[in-house]
Amino acid sequence: MSQLIEEVMKHESLSNATRTLLEIISDNFSGTESATIEDYMSEIVDLLSITERRTKRDASKSKVKVEDQDKDGEQFQIALDEIKQAILSIIINKEIDITMQ
């Protein structure tokens, strides 16, 4: 797991729901060290897309089951927003060493 993923998952601004969703996604990526926070966010975007498509088609079951919970698009959008804010907070507070590239 990358350092940024670890920092995001521990970030104080994340809700319990977002933290739990990230833990579930992390479990899905177990066994690899090359997954990035972008991969995690892409998984959430995929879930959001499914819920939006079902909603637009007036499906009776527009929610997506994640583990044992049904989640709607709004929950995925909130998670993405919280993750973006956490990343921004982490990056802004980092010292950048321009001698390393």
pLDDT in tens, 26-66: 999 999 989 999 999 999 999 999 999 999 999 999 999 99
**Tens digit of each residue's pLDDT (9 = 90 or more) over 3-14:** 999 999 999 999
Enter the tokens of residue 94: 């980092």
> Given a cut of 80, is residue 97 above it in pLDDT?
no
Exposed / middle / buried, residue 29 (Cβ in 10 Å: 0-12, 13-18, 19+): middle
Beta strands in the chain (DSSP E): 64-66, 69-71
Decide: pTM greater than 0.75. yes
Closest to 36 in 3D by CA, of 10, 64, 8, 77 = 8
